[in-house]
Chain A
Amino acid sequence: MSTRADAWPAGGIQPDWTLTVVASTQDESGRILPFSELDDRRLVDACLGGAVEAFDVIVARHQRAVYQLCFRFVRRHEDAADLTQEVFLRAYRGLRRFRGDAAMATWLYRIGVNVCLNQVAARKAQELPLDDAPEVRAAGGDPASSLLKSEAGARVRAAVARLPPKQRATLILRVYQDLSHREIALALGTTVGAVKANFFHALVNLKKLLAGEAIEKP
């Protein structure tokens, strides 16, 4: 239940505050809603109210996307799983800071990018050799085409890993996580114009790297 200041009748004295009350996990008919039927914002409220089970639902909803983001950065299944765990743990610790003005996924991506870039910077993972193949299978296809796709994918992954951090983060969020430029700007704490410029340079540099050319690091 929420009461907003703009819901007051026109012409009357309108308060300059907004009252939002999360009364319970019941719907309008009084039915008790399971956590799985609540939106992310209400799950966060439930978590802050002490219901840690609500966070399990958040994890179930977003773990695949967060894992895939982490995998794009570190290219190893075990590392991606560890980083995914770290992302959710940081999110849980900082749950009070989630205000709901961005989607939960965008907020998790923001944490994820920071965690991954820190990890990559610490380990210099971008210099991993090409034959350090991922321990996960590519989705679908017959074995021969899967192998070709896997090899082509490994080359692309190696090239992406050699991009400068901001360009890499932008390309991963745009191409693989399918975020809009605005969502990427929110996730990276930058402007839409900067996101577009980074995306342009990321794609130009990716093409150079795949052609065996060197790129200029900013």
Chain B
Amino acid sequence: MTHLSPEQIVDVADGCADAALAAHARVCDGCRANVDAVLDAWRLAQSDPPPEPSPLFWPHLAARIGRDVRRTRVSVPFWRSWGWRLAPLGALAILVVAVAVGARMWPPASGSEGPAAGARPGAPAQAGAEPTAEGEPLDDPSWTLVSVLSADVSVEDAEASGVLPPPGGTDKALLQLDGEERAELARILREEIGARAALDPQDPGA
């Protein structure tokens, strides 16, 4: 058997080596000398007692640290401290992305069944889709329009644009709009879509 490595000598000195290593250390003069030297130095190191300041020192030190800590703030990511306050901004930004992507993906006008908005800028997207201020958000046509547009936006696109709000942020922001605000949002969206479709009504995806 070869001589023990430094790690094995430490294991033997520590009493946690396996039986074969311990047996070798007992019969090999060189390895036994190394183990003895390690144990001797260990005992010498332990002869230095731990420092023990006055008992009054500990509350004094704790108070010093406490004062220092109270002048310091734990570093938290900026978005944690802003939280929901950024949600409306994030929602607005994602809506802009939705408009851009939606305008590209909007199906071209075909026959009398297609959305007239493509050929008539500023016209309502769907008949009878006028929002009411008192309507529930989920029944609101403007809400439906926003939902349809947002459905085409992939998470990757939104994340790549750096505007992804916290989960549920868009819903929360939109639910906080009153009827008039939703109607205004729908009007802006229709204008934007209509303007883009008017520029190139045959190829809105270009």
Q: A-side interface residues toward B, CB under 8 Å?
A: 47-48, 52, 55-56, 59-60, 63-64, 67-68, 71, 77, 80-81, 84-85, 88-89, 92-96, 134, 136-140, 149, 152-153, 156-157, 160, 171, 175-176, 181, 193, 196-197, 199-201, 203-204, 206-207, 210
Among residues of B, the one whose C-beta sits closest to the C-beta of A154 is B48
A200 touching B6 in the complex, CB below 8 Å, given contacts A47-B74, A206-B41: yes
Contact yes or no, B70 A52, CB < 8 A: yes
What range describes how many residues of B lie at the interface? Answer: 35 or more
Find out whether the CB atom of A63 lies under 8 angstroms from the CB atom of B62.
Answer: yes
Number of A-B contacts (CB under 8 A): 123
Could you say which of B5, B11, B45, B62 contacts A203, with CB atoms under 8 Å apart? Answer: B45
- Asked whether, in the complex, the Cβ of B52 is within 8 Å of the Cβ of A60, the reply is no
Contacts of A81 in B (CB 8 A): 57, 61, 64
Least CB distance from B56 to A in Å reads 13
Is there contact, CB below 8 Å, between A59 and B10?
no
Shortest B82–chain A CB gap in Å is 16
Q: Which residue of B lies closest to A140 (CB)?
A: B49
Which residues of chain A come closer than 8 Å to B6, judged between CB atoms?
196-197, 200-201
The interface bits of chain B over 1-25 (1 if a CB of A lies within 8 angstroms of the residue's CB, else 0) are 0000111011100000000000000
The answer on a CB contact under 8 Å between B51 and A68 is: yes
Q: CA A60 – CA B61 in complex, angstroms?
A: 9
Expressed in whole angstroms, the Cα–Cα distance for A59 and B74 within the complex equals 16
B65–A59 touching, CB < 8 Å:
yes
In the complex, residue of chain A having the shortest beta-carbon distance to the beta carbon of B45: A175
Within 8 A of A (CB), among B30-76: 37-38, 40-42, 44-53, 57-58, 61-62, 64-66, 68-70, 72, 74-76
Least distance between A83 CB and chain B CB atoms (Å)? 11
**Residues of chain B contacted by A88 (CB below 8 angstroms):** 65, 68-69
In the assembled complex, 22 residue pairs joining A and B whose CB atoms fall closer than 8 Å, in A order, are A59-B66, A63-B58, A63-B61, A63-B62, A67-B51, A67-B61, A88-B68, A92-B72, A95-B74, A136-B53, A138-B49, A138-B52, A139-B49, A149-B49, A160-B48, A196-B6, A197-B5, A197-B7, A200-B9, A203-B42, A207-B41, A207-B44
Whole-angstrom distance from the CB of A62 to the nearest CB of chain B?
10
- A136–B57 Cα distance when bound, in Å, is 11
Contacts of A52 in B (CB 8 A): 69-70
A193 contacts across to B, CB distance below 8 A:
7
Tell me if A204 and B62 are in contact (CB < 8 A).
no
Please, how many angstroms separate the alpha-carbon atoms of A197 and B4 in the complex?
12
Known: A197-B6, A200-B10. A206 touches B44 (CB 8 A): yes
Beyond contacts A52-B69, A92-B72, A175-B42: 11 other A-B pairs, Cβ-Cβ < 8 A, are A48-B76, A63-B58, A68-B50, A77-B53, A138-B49, A138-B51, A156-B45, A196-B7, A203-B42, A204-B37, A207-B40
Taking CB atoms, residues of chain B closer than 8 Å to A56 are 62, 66
CA distance A24 to B111 in the complex (A): 63
Residues in A with CB closer than 8 Å to B72 are: 89, 92-93
Chain A residues whose C-beta falls within 8 Å of the C-beta of B9 in the assembled complex: 200
**A137 and B52 contact, CB distance less than 8 A:** yes
Most A C-beta atoms less than 10 A away, residue of B9, B51, B76? B51
CB <8 Å contact, A139 and B61: no
A89-B72, A196-B10 as given contacts; A206 in contact with B58, CB under 8 Å:
no
